Structure 1
Amino acid sequence: MSTVDAVQSLSQVLGAVADSLAVADSPAVALLHDEAVGAEISTRLRGPNSGAGDDNLCRWLYDTFQSNDPDLQLVVLKFMPTVAGVYLSRAVSRQPLAGFEAVLLALYAYETVTRGNEAESLTLPDLSNPSVYHEGKASPKKSAAELTVAVLSPVLEPYGTVRSTKRARIVGVALELYYNKISSMPASSKLAFCEFCLAWVWQGQKTCEGKEESGDGKEPEPAPARSYNVPFPWELFQPAIRIVGHCLLAPSSSEELKAVAYTAVERLYLRATHDMKPQEILAARSLLRLGKMPGDDIAEPTITANSEYSEEALKKTAQLA
């Protein structure tokens, strides 16, 4: 599928709202950043009948991602927070969501092929060995030091359907792919993920007085408009905390996005403590502390009036040049 074909197909699904994209210099880039079209797609994905097997919008997302056009694939990834958010919220009620599952499986299959039967891992430094930049108190060991390898994402197994036992893994891999391209995602997409994250991890329960309280009986923080009891294992928690961490700490993030992301981290921490999962508690608590740290402001150097780098001296140098 070419970019022109993708835009024309989208116009058939959305109507006139997408007609202006066909005349853009780069339709795929315009589609990625068009707020009106993005809002219309998000609204339809959140509709009560979305995600079914005959959903034309899900079919368009599937076909567009299968085009293997990097720019068009970014467009599909832009809506991954909404697809994953609505899907996870409805999957607990066992609704038929073949349209959403087809899109998620397409992303999962893409990552399976890309990784080539290898796990995503990184090598951690061994702190028991002296640094190459410092003199150690003890002589280094003659034997080769064993490397500590941390596995971020295990080897992917091919799946043709979404089973309840594999749902978190498939959605988590789709979110990992989203995170790998997050620098290209518009702010609206990141904001949508943080808002869905608030709903996914909330575990409030209704009391007899109609108030919401947490599992330990204490009054929680204000809950989002709707809350879902979505299972949230490490396969989902890890990519979620990485995405929210980017939204919170990236210099390009707006103040609104940082505020929502910080609230999402707080909810992730509450969910981790509720589920009593040490690995998730450590990750969320560490990100909370990073979010509270002041920014690394670099002090501007003091330049005297008679310095060769003063404003007047630089102006004279520019005139002589």
Structure 2
Amino acid sequence: METADPPRPAAAGPDPGTPGVRHRRAAGPRPRGTLRRAGRLTLPYLLIAPTVLALAAVLGYPLVDLVLLSFQDMTRKQLFSGTSPPWAGLGQYRTILSDGFFWNVVGRTALFTVVCVAATMALAMLVALLMRRVAPWVRMTMVGVLVAVWAMPIMVAASIFRWLSDADYGVVNWLLGLLPGLDFSKHNWFADPWEGFAVIACVVVWGAVPFAAVTLQAALSQVPPELEEAALVDGARGPQLFRHVTFPVIKPAFVLVTSLSAIWDFGVFNQIWLMRGGQPEKEYYLLGVYSFIESFAVNRYSTGAAIAVITVLLLLGGAVVYVRQILTMGEAE
């Protein structure tokens, strides 16, 4: 009787613990999850790289040249001959910072910015709350009107407000003259800088409200209705409901729009230049106008550059405050 051959044992593979196997594992392909994680980390930087490079090319060189010019003493002689201007060091900054008129312009600019930003945010919030209450077709109509106002060129808006406040044919003087006891015939709104800046502030706010209102309305649409309903059940009404329920949700958007409005209003130039016909008086100087006049009207190019550098530093200080607020709100959430 033949007996079957016993089954051969399966060939045993090498011990995983041997050094050779460990070496082959280390040299093998990286796990797919690691590659995906590395891609997620580098993708945001790759996406913003074109924008950063474009900004560096467009803004980097002029900013560096501006800073260098502020440390020199450029005159028309060097400008027309093409020779290098003499080095002045901190002389331009000493002259500016020791000038009382410069600090008057800084205070005027800060006050103008605060008034314009406060008026812009107050009106924009009211418009946004109104858009939340009206019917959808009315809301779309309001959005269209706001976008049209925002798209209006500054030159057109300034021309309209100059006509409205004209001393001879202005609609504002005519309407105020209809009120009993008031005589605004031939009233010049720009004879008094306070009244003139009130008109200029109206131009600035007119152009800034649409963007702020549309942004705040978009933020209000993200407020959960159940939160407000629960607050109403608990007895919250009107200002209490807005302060404790609605505003905390839209606070990041509110801070963003406020900061952007402050940066834009701090550097206002076009509105003042156009409203004063290209010849603003010293009482209407803000930092942007002051820098331009010193550079291209008085031909003190380095002085104007130094004023512009100080303006940029003040704006950077405001930007730092804005970034810190955003980071603080992000940590709180």
Q: Give the TM-score band, short-chain normalised.
A: under 0.3
Larger RCO, structures 1/2 (Cα 8 Å, 6+ apart): 2
Structure 1 or 2: more helix by fraction: 2
Normalising by structure 2, we get a TM-score of: 0.21
Normalising by structure 1, we get a TM-score of: 0.21
Structure 1 or 2: more strand by fraction: 1
The structure with more radius of gyration: 2
